[in-house]
Structure 1
């Protein structure tokens, strides 16, 4: 059996774990998004969180606005000289009419009142603007034994603890209304290499894992950590982890 690990040591991560372990989008994503619009004057990242995609877009646009309804997220967003952060809801964007070339929302659109957000997107869209709802799906592990045990954990064991909106993310937003002229996009993946602690640190940021803890079902986490540790082997060994990037991309 691999080295013993204490479940609570892995899953009792604080708020800093979110920024530490959240997967980073590949540079090719912002490059592609910028290529879809004629003018690279202004982009807006709605539901920007800590500004991960916001700052990447700033490499391609003259100005970028990161907007989030959480004051805490905005207070801790990554600063960038071409980025302005604003605390505001997606349904009331504090931007001028016809002033934005790209309207992006990464891993956030499932929380929006989408009809209200879409009305705002149309209002602020410059001629030829593009709207991109970006998500990354369920992670993939190697080898197949790790993937099989993780899939059981994700779907069967903590599945009931996910909020209903999670299904929209898992489906790449395929099931949501999207009243725009749809566009194709290339295959892209987020790729990381994590040791055992880093992988479980990422899982500690999941709302479903927190709900398992709150429900007093530590046995679910205990069993999963033991099983995965056996398969993983040396906990310092880096293993590939990937997420497929999905999008609903459209011309406004």
Structure 2
């Protein structure tokens, strides 16, 4: 898997949106036993921290030590550096395995082979993520231009899986029908631009041009934001299944 986020690990921890409690509760409600959970490619530990209130112990791994250095600390979370596709866990270990906003970076075949090895036969596998944010009409127009035209050429090809709402990723599990979830926030302008700067495409742009592309839209977006309602919505993506 790729590491596109070590560079901005601090910003990632500060500005990336969390997942709503109701979605986590829904996932956990599908799990028979709540002994061990694993959050793969945990990043700043957002999901691991949410799961820690439900499971005896939560393991969380990531390829980036910098991300783990910024991760949420809980007594029952054990962090480790490893790839998604190759872990050191025993066979049939976990009641729940989650992946949040990361599976599109994985080698699918190798990762799913590992899931089948370490997930308990009656365990649950859940993939979650979020699509492009939306807000008021004026801001949306600017953000869409930023996403498609300014940073568009700098997105990795794997980004398309998110644009396709994870419907096109391989999913070799007995899949459940799930409810739809949306995440809602009220953001100050600094939170909005801070989030934009965590985008991997923004970092690719900065690396190539040595300038921040957010500066191209900053003034126009700020003017619109300060007269709007500052509501931000993220369409949430979720797929849940069990071993076949």
TM-score (norm 1): 0.87
Q: Following TM superposition, by how much is the alpha carbon of 1:22 offset from its aligned partner in structure 2, in angstroms?
A: 0.6
Q: Deviations over 1:101-128 (max 9, x none)?
A: 1110101111111111111111112121
Q: Matched residue of 1:215: which SS?
A: helix
Q: Which of these residues, 54, 69, 72, is aligned with residue 63 of structure 2?
A: 69
Cα separation, 2, equivalents of 1:100 and 1:127 = 9
Cα separation, 2, equivalents of 1:219 and 1:94 = 39
Q: Which of these residues, 23, 36, 43, is aligned with residue 37 of structure 2?
A: 43
Cα separation, 1, equivalents of 2:158 and 2:86 = 21
Contact between 1:34 and 1:61, CA under 8 Å: does it hold in 2? no
Verify: 1:201 aligned to 2:210, yes or no: no
Higher relative contact order (CA 8 A, sep 6+): 1
Q: Following TM superposition, by how much is the alpha carbon of 1:14 offset from its aligned partner in structure 2, in angstroms?
A: 6.0
Number of the residue aligned with 2:222: 229
Q: Following TM superposition, by how much is the alpha carbon of 1:15 offset from its aligned partner in structure 2, in angstroms?
A: 4.4
Cα separation, 2, equivalents of 1:153 and 1:31 = 34
Q: Which of these residues, 47, 51, 60, is aligned with residue 57 of structure 1?
A: 51
Number of the residue aligned with 1:213: 206
Q: Which runs of 5+ in 2 are unaligned?
A: 1-6
How many residues get paired? 237
Q: Matched residue of 1:140: which SS?
A: coil
* Larger radius of gyration between Structure 1 and Structure 2: 1
Number of the residue aligned with 1:10: none
Cα separation, 1, equivalents of 2:159 and 2:213 = 20
Q: 1:59 to 1:219 in 2, by over 3 A?
A: closer
Number of the residue aligned with 2:147: 154
Q: Following TM superposition, by how much is the alpha carbon of 1:157 offset from its aligned partner in structure 2, in angstroms?
A: 2.2
Q: 1:223 to 1:70 in 2, by over 3 A?
A: closer
Number of the residue aligned with 1:244: 235
